Amino acid sequence: MTISEKAAYLKGLMEGMDLDTEKAEGKMIAAIVDLLGDVTRRLTDVEETTIAISDELDEIEEDLDAIEDFIMDEDDDDFYDEDDEDYDEDDFDDEYDDDDFEDEGFDFGDEETTIYEVKCACGEVIAFDEETLESGSMTCPNCGELLEFTWDDEDEIED
């Protein structure tokens, strides 16, 4: 017996018992049977959706297998063969030159730049780079206080 059939059976039993739904016990049993009916409908919807998704995934898997078979050579054992003779890295070097990005204003940052942080008396945490450290001071953007830095022998910043 499926869940839907069981819920329908319970509803039939409740109606056959001729319960007085004006009394507390009858109201409670009727509410439980209604709830079971709602849960059953939702569960059925979820099951149908799951089956539909599973079918779609099977179709996608079949399509991917067909694409893989189409792309693979009969001699190749691996779809991701790194020794593919058709691929020549030099063909792509001219197309994407790193200098092109700099000309377009892209700034990817300098990975060797160290970022320092200092906490102002107002509580603002301020991040700055080595160039600001070497200048010896900066103004807090929150309160406007002048922060002066000195470089310690132990590579720590004092303000």
How many Cβ atoms from other residues are within 10 Å of residue 19's Cβ?
Answer: 17
Residue-wise pLDDT for 67-112, tens only, equals 988 887 554 555 455 555 555 555 555 555 555 444 444 455 555 6
Dist CA 28 CA 30 (whole Å): 5
Task: Identify the residue whose tokens are 């001219």.
Answer: 94
What is the residue-wise DSSP string for 126-148? EEE-HHHHHH-EEE-TTT--EEE
State whether residue 57 is helix, strand or coil: helix
Look at residue 3 in the predicted model and tell me its pLDDT.
87
The residue ranges of every structural domain in the chain are: 1-108, 116-158
What does the block give as tokens for 27?
Answer: 């109201």
User: Residue 91 and residue 84: Cα distance in Å, rounded?
Assistant: 14
Tokens of 131: 């160039």
Convert the pLDDT of each residue in 18-67 to its tens digit: 888 889 998 999 999 999 999 999 999 999 999 999 999 999 999 999 89
Total-model pTM: 0.39
Q: What is the DSSP string of 22-55?
A: TSHHHHHHHHHHHHHHHHHHHHHHHHHHHHHHHH
**CA gap 157, 99 in Å, rounded:** 36
